[in-house]
Amino acid sequence: MGCASCHGMDGKGGLPGVGAPDIRGASEARVRGALAGGVPLMSSFIKLNDEEVTAVVAYLKYLNERS
CA distance 56 to 58: 5
CA distance 64 to 13: 13
Instruction: Give 3-14 pLDDT, tens digit per residue.
Output: 888 899 999 998
Q: Mean pLDDT, to the nearest integer, of 25-45?
A: 89
Question: pTM (2 decimals)?
Answer: 0.83
Contact partners, residue 48, CB within 8 Å, separation at least 6:
35, 56
